[in-house]
Structure 1
Amino acid sequence: MQDIIYLAPLAGIVSLVFAAFFATRVLKEGTGNEKMQEIATAIQEGAMAYLNRQYKTIAIVAVILAFLIYALLGENSGKVAIGFIVGAASSAIAGYIGMNVSVRANVRTTNAASRGLHEAMQVAVRGGAVTGLAVVGLALLGTSIFYILFGNVDQVVGFGFGASLISLFARVGGGIYTKAADVGADLVGKIEAGIPEDDPRNAGVIADNVGDNVGDCAGMGADLFETYVVTVLAAMLLGAQVLESYPNAIIYPLILGAVAIFASIISIFFVRVGNDNKIMKALYKGVAVAALLCLVAFYFVTDILIGDINIYYASLVGVAIMVLMVVFTEYYTSTSYRPVKKVAEASETGAGTNVISGLAMGFESTALPVVIIVIGILAAFFVAGGAVNPAMGLYGIAIAAAAMLSTTGMIVTLDSYGPITDNAGGIAEMAGLPAEVREITDALDAVGNTTKAVTKGYAIGSAALGALALFADYRHKVNIETGGLSLDNPIVLVGLFIGALLPFIFSAVTMQAVGKAAFGIINEVRRQFREIPGIMEGTTKPEYGKCVDIVTAAAIREMAIPGILAIATPLLIGYILGPLALGGLLIGIIASGLLLALTMDNGGGAWDNAKKLIEDGHHGGKGSEAHKAAVVGDTVGDPFKDTAGPALNSLIKVVNMIAILFSSLFIGAGIF
């Protein structure tokens, strides 16, 4: 029976093979005329230059942390340090693969749009599938190989921490880049100069298109790579505590991931636009097929490895949470429903009422997801036997989280589809292509905004369940009894408040970073409009490279403080105040981080699509006072949904991974 574990690395390899297959299919597509190729090349060069500089910077931090791991963790520290380096490298490779294809699929999607909606969508989906399958393939391959080599799940934690580190910096750095460029280009271009989005006369337009890729492709890819690895690891760690009841409990999450990869590969072929031309329906068809195939496969895997139908029910809970998180996120961020329509309507009375309405929708959007997550936690706990054996219940929660991530390959495909179609629209605009081409790319892009929002909601929900499982393992490792984290103990309460505070400070730093970087872009675009004659007439080309350089340097510089906050805070609390305070911190950061991330992601999505709704001709359309107000609201929402909000997922998991990895050092530590 133990030989079945080799199915996990095999599935990872198959996933990478299919990623290569889809990449080949995309790269065979035509790249259009010379103007389109020139624009696409500028985006490619800017994106890869940023990613190279980012990873070189992160590599320095990774090497320092690897030496600390080796020096501090004693026995087996070498294995953990190697896992850490490989985890970081694997996450970086997943980002490189996805980015390379994404910045090439954009112009090919634009060119395919001249042949029709179906053709353009196929190119965009296949381009997104490369990132999706590369992420899950490398994640499952690395986790399973290290477990097979080491034979001890505790020694695989280093691999997860490496993934977490890259995720944090990729999310923060990429988020700062994309939103600084977007905000700067929009405020000067749309409001001050009165020119359309993606207008080639705007000096910030190439940086904006580069940002779509480094934020929503490389950033989300690293985020879900880490979420996948960490969640599977959490289930394996808790599986080690129930081996007496279920001898295959450790390898069971790996095999769930393996069969889910095959389900994701199959589901990608089902994503096709029907005669009704409903793009979102076609994308959701892929998610639905993946989920249904997983439900069937999980039954047989559970029967073979576990032999307890209750654990299968826990996996059903995870899939149900995934579906509901997708539904509720779309409700709050799609142009078809009340929240976005209300924000758009509020724009008629100015920017102030737009901002108030967007904030209100962001706050409101926390209710249903939290209710679903809470019900899911209780359901998974009790169906797995938590009332009799709490360890079994916690394992059930971890399995629900792992099952929730079963469709990661398909979900990342949807997310990466977003920046590809966004860039495709930009290339069509800048290259001056016919209106019918832009009409198709606009339709694809409008759906892309929703898919990106849905992916963020999915990532938040999985982060909450995964972090809860990690917290349970931390409590076990530092020998905290069930009632040990009592609020009657002031040291626990102190840790709780610090943990609840950290997401707010982290968000403040990242939001300010976007503001600083955007300030540089605004001044540069204004300078070029003022000092370079012929830009507005279209007779002179702006100096696009200047804006790319400004935002690249700013993003690399500004990602340092959030990274230090995430790494240093749990270490200092653990050493100075001890494991009980750190336990309180973990509870606080999970609770407040979840709520703040939901508020920012959904509120930001509502602001963005309210602007899109107005641009589609509602409430006065483009150029109206309502449109100007909506642009201001979108300017607030951009760093909410694409910088601070998504980065909170990585913050929560990085802090939990540090707590687990260095848990042995915290036992007996602290001044209390």
Structure 2
Amino acid sequence: GMGADLYESYCGSILASAALGVAAFHEKGEAVQVNALLLPMMLAAAGIILSICGVFLVKTKEDTSQKNLLKALGKGINYSSIGVAVAAYFLANLLLPDNNMLFMSVGVGLLAGWLIGWWTEYSTSDEYAPTQAIAKQAESGPATIIIAGVAEGLYSVWVPIVVIGAAILLAFGFSTEWAFGDDEKFALGLYGVGLGAVGMLSTLGLTLATDAYGPIADNAGGNAQMAELEPIVRERTDALDSLGNTTAATGKGFAIGSAALTALALLAAYVEEVRVGYDRWAKAEVVDLDDGTVIKLNRRALAVKHGDSAKTYLVMPARKGQGNDDYAAIGKADAKDEVEVDTEALVAMGLLVNNKTATIPDFVQLYDVTIMNPAVLIGMFMGVMLAFVFCAMTMKAVGRAADGMVQEVRRQFAENPGILDGSVKPDYANCVSISTGAAQREMILPSLLGLVVPIVVGLLLGVGGVMGMLAGGLTSGFAVAIFMANAGGAWDNAKKYIEAGNFGGKGSDAHKAGVVGDTVGDPFKDTSGPSLNILIKLMSMVSVVFAGLIVQYALALF
């Protein structure tokens, strides 16, 4: 699950960056555009090689503490990240020498990933105060440990959000040389943000390895207990399992942060796909027209027959007192009508913009993508709603699947009492079948939610509504995902901390409360939290794929 999620972010960030690179350098010729397209791919290739090297740096001693185990894992990631930063410097200078500060955008992404990982470790490891405080609350009962876990989870959101916000600002600034107000460099700034996402994910090999480590250690502990091995074996596997919970939580935090940057890059790629959608529509409409004929596609675009192809012009909103008879004629004409206008004069006045050279701020102005536009505001609410409804669906799915499993276990105990004394072997296969079937069946509705809602919102509210929905889903999904992943990881390690002999140890009332917290935390950290990453990227991907459909067939309500 986490592997597929991170791989989706990995591919999404590379592809979105490549698309933005081509758009950012459209005036510099194909050779530069190809280099901009290659840069994220070369960075990813360097990251793979350096991740393999980093694996060999992870070494530990016998009887080491959890803090030292974390340092050993961190050593591999840190050295690989430094190597990627150095590689980024040389690759940026080689491929795009006129924009060599782009390597700093990659470095910002690497640093952001490291900071999010460090904060997640602090928020969930039982070596630190937050998880120990949750464990202490277990002395008062299950209710207080739930309250403490929710509170720590909510509190843990602030650092990743500040880090991602700062990373976006810095990556944009370095790539544009701090020309924030230059519309012509806007796509270049977003290209820098995309490279930041690629940088963050460049050491994916090591991040996935540390995440996969958790389940391996957990299962080793289960095998040791079932095989009734010596207590020292179980103590060591418990230490490794606790570390595994922290590395898993760190991996989830990393995945959520990278998903946020990837989704932002995909949001920019969506605007580029809107541009492509207009060009395709214009080309289809002018096939049977005479050369030079101008037709109105909709109130936002004109198409001009130009040889075997078409030129597309965006009809920009006119300021008060701006405009002429030609502009008025465009407004009065119906869609698909031919209009006789001087396009060059309207371009000179700023009332028409060539679709090929339009900047992202031009599209923002064209669709009035501001919170004062009802379509955008409704879209934002829909995006926020999606995050919460999706979480509710996945949590309920866990409850239903668990209920089915409990009923099956009770049935087997009732029909075969010998299972309890070991004389009869339980039917494991049926339990696995129930679990697997429920997992697949219960994900149908949440998946449809992420697939259908972006299309419906687009058809009803247009491009502006979709952009609002993507922004709302990204911001709310990012925050809720961090909260759930960190709260779940902290509850799990709080229980482990009690089992290590603190606050009464195993069998105490505090331990029973800790088990309740851990049980609540499992669907938080393993189901709803991580799946939100996939939702925000799925919404973006679906929007990109159906951008042409939305451009052509959306209702003209706003």
Q: Which of the five TM-score ranges fits, normalised by the shorter chain?
A: 0.7 to 0.9
Say which is worse superposed, 414-423 or 542-551, in terms of deviation: 542-551
Q: 2:125 matched to 1:320?
A: no
Q: Deviations over 1:152-180 (max 9, x none)?
A: xxxxxxxxxxxxxxxxxxxxxxxxxxxxx
2: CA distance between counterparts of 1:384 and 1:549?
51
Q: Which one-letter code corresponds to 2:520 in the other structure?
A: V
Matched, 1:262 2:49: yes
Q: SS of the residue aligned with 1:478?
A: helix
1:572 to 427, 447, 456: 456
Match of 1:665 among 542, 549, 558: 549
Mean CA deviation greater in 544-553 or 510-519 = 544-553
Task: Provide the residue aligned with 2:225 in structure 1.
Answer: 429
Q: Is residue 266 of structure 2 the alignment partner of residue 475 of structure 1?
A: no
CA deviation profile, 1:555-581 (whole Å, cap 9, x unmatched) = 121111111111111111112322111
Matched, 1:300 2:300: no
CA distance in 1, matches of 2:234, 2:511: 20
Q: 1:408 is matched with which residue?
A: 204
Q: Partner residue of 2:36?
A: 249
Name the counterpart of 1:379: 170
1:610 correspondence with 2:494: yes
- For residue 520 of structure 2, what is the aligned residue in structure 1? 636
Trace 1:327-342 onto structure 2 (pairs within 5 A).
327-342=118-133
AA of the residue aligned to 1:370:
I
| Distance in 1 between residues matched to 2:236 and 2:424, nearest whole Å | 29
1:542 aligns with 2:413: no
**Structure-1 residue corresponding to 2:5:** 223
State which of 370, 376, 390 in structure 1 corresponds to 2:161.
370
* 1:521 positional shift: 1.6
* In 1, Cα distance between equivalents of 2:533 and 2:490: 20
The structure having more radius of gyration, on CA atoms, is 2
Amino acid at match of 1:321: A
CA distance in 2, matches of 1:610, 1:363: 16
TM-score between the two structures when normalised by the length of structure 2: 0.79
Cα deviation code 1:576-616 (max 9, x no counterpart): 32211111111110011101101111111111111111111
Superposed, which structure 2 residues align to 1:74-223 within 5 Å?
219-223=1-5
Confirm whether residue 487 of structure 1 aligns to residue 371 of structure 2.
yes
Instruction: After TM superposition, give the deviation of residue 530 of structure 1 in Å.
Output: 4.2
Matched position secondary structure for 1:563: helix
Q: Secondary structure at the match of 1:622?
A: coil
Q: Pick the aligned partner of 1:280 from 70, 88, 107.
A: 70
Alpha carbons of structure 1 residues 276 and 282: separation in structure 2 relative to 1, 3 Å: farther
- Counterpart contact for 1:333–1:339, Cα < 8 Å: yes
Partner of 2:330: none
Between the aligned partners of 1:574 and 1:650, the Cα distance in structure 2 is 20
2:320 maps to which residue? none
Equivalent in the alignment of 1:588 = 472
Match of 2:407 in 1: 523
User: Structure 1 residues 565, 449: closer, same or farther in 2, change over 3 A?
Assistant: same
Separation in 2 of the partners of 1:488 and 1:591? 18
Determine the C-alpha separation between the residues in 1 that align with 2:152 and 2:415. Answer: 42
1:24-81, Cα deviation, whole Å (9 max, x unpaired): xxxxxxxxxxxxxxxxxxxxxxxxxxxxxxxxxxxxxxxxxxxxxxxxxxxxxxxxxx
Shift of 1:474: 1.1
Per-residue CA deviations over 1:447-490 (Å, capped at 9, x if unaligned) read: 11111100000000011111111111212332562342111111
Q: Give yes or no for contact 1:500–1:588 (8 Å, CA) kept in 2.
A: yes
Q: CA deviation digits over 1:629-665, x for unaligned, max 9? A: 1111111111111001101101110110111111111
Residue 236 of structure 1 aligns to a residue whose secondary structure is: helix
Unaligned runs of 5+ residues in structure 1 are 1-218
CA RMSD, aligned part only? 1.5
Partners of 2:92 and 2:101 within 8 A in 1:
no
Per the alignment, in what secondary structure is the counterpart of residue 544 of structure 2?
A: helix
Percentage identity across paired residues of the two chains: 47
Cα pair 1:242 1:391 within 8 Å, conserved: yes
> Contact 1:274–1:282 (CA<8 Å) still a contact in 2?
no
Alignment check: 8 A CA contact 1:576 1:669 kept: no
Normalised by the length of structure 1, the TM-score is 0.66
Q: 2:19 aligns with which of 233, 237, 252?
A: 237
Cα deviation code 1:230-285 (max 9, x no counterpart)? 01111111101122454411110000001111100111111111367232222111
| One-letter amino acid of the structure 2 residue matched with residue 300 of structure 1 | F
Whole-Å separation in 2 of the counterparts to 1:477 and 1:223: 23
- Is the deviation greater in 618-627 or in 500-509? 618-627
- Equivalent-residue separation in structure 2 for 1:296 and 1:644 (angstroms): 37
Could you say which residue in structure 1 is the equivalent of 2:141? 350
Equivalent AA in structure 1 for residue 548 of structure 2? S
Q: How does 1:54-93 map to 2 (within 5 A)?
A: none
1:339 Cα shift?
1.3
What's the CA shift string for 1:522-553, capped at 9, x where partnerless?
22223334443243333433332232122122
CA contact (8 A) 2:405 2:434 kept: yes
Deviations 1:401-446 (A, max 9, x none): 1101111011001111111111111111112222232233222222
Which secondary structure does the structure 1 equivalent of 2:36 belong to?
coil
Q: How many angstroms does 1:288 deviate by? A: 1.2
Aligned-partner SS, 1:577:
helix
CA distance in 1, matches of 2:8, 2:190: 21
- 1:607 and 1:523 map into 2 onto residues whose CA distance is 26
Question: What amino acid is aligned across from residue 489 of structure 1 in structure 2?
Answer: N
Q: What CA distance in whole angstroms lies between the structure 1 residues aligned with 2:63 and 2:36?
A: 46
Contact 2:369-2:376 at 8 Å conserved across structures: yes
Where 1:433 maps in the other structure, the secondary structure is coil
Gaps of 5+ in 2: 276-361
How many aligned residue pairs are there?
Answer: 454
Q: Distance in 2 between matches of 1:523 and 1:491?
A: 47
**Match of residue 168 from structure 1:** none
- 2:391 maps to which residue? 507
* CA distance in structure 2 between the partners assigned to 1:556 and 1:660 by the alignment: 26
Q: CA deviation at 1:227?
A: 0.9
Which amino acid counterpart does residue 18 of structure 2 have in structure 1? M
Query: 1:78 — aligned with what?
Result: none
